Amino acid sequence: SLTKVKITDSTTGYRAFTAEVARDINYINTFTYTQEQIIKAAKQGFKICEVPIVCRKTRESRLFNNPFQYAIKAWINIFRIYRDYQPLKFFGQIGGIFFLLGFLLGIYITITFILTGVVGGIPRVILSMLLMLTGIQIILFGFFADMLHK
């Protein structure tokens, strides 16, 4: 879990929080604050607890005609918060994937060259190098973003 806090329904709009939480959490999303508030409050060390309640039968949403639309926007919001609060991990994973793909392609090219004596196409070599360089750049961007975050 991104927050390490057990919450069964993070999308409910009903919340109670202290003035300190209201003052200290800055929101970046204009869509919804619910997930963003939970994630940021947990990352900033505020205590979070869930109080179970009994509720009436659900009604149709006035905000969304499609639950899939809400889910997509909520995931984009969580994605942005993850990027902002753990930039090295976020960009490191993306950069690592690019680097690994380029490295694996490079191994394939090398094995093909050893076995056949032919490189097997300059475009593959260029693609391999570009993937590895892109991965390194993304990882370095993660280091830079992490320095700015701290």
Question: Where do the structural domains in the chain lie, given as residue ranges?
Answer: 19-85, 88-149
Token pair 């260029």: residue: 126
Polymer length in residues for the chain: 150
- Band the pLDDT of 15: cuts 50, 70, 90: confident
- Global pTM? 0.58
Per-residue b/e over 70-91, b at no fewer than 16 CB within 10 Å? beeebeebbeebeebbbbbebb
pLDDT value for 45: 79
pLDDT value for 54: 74
> What digits encode the pLDDT tens for the residues 58-114?
666 666 667 787 778 778 877 887 888 888 999 999 999 999 999 999 999 999 999
Q: Which two tokens stand for residue 57?
A: 């039968």
Share of the chain above pLDDT 90, in %: 33
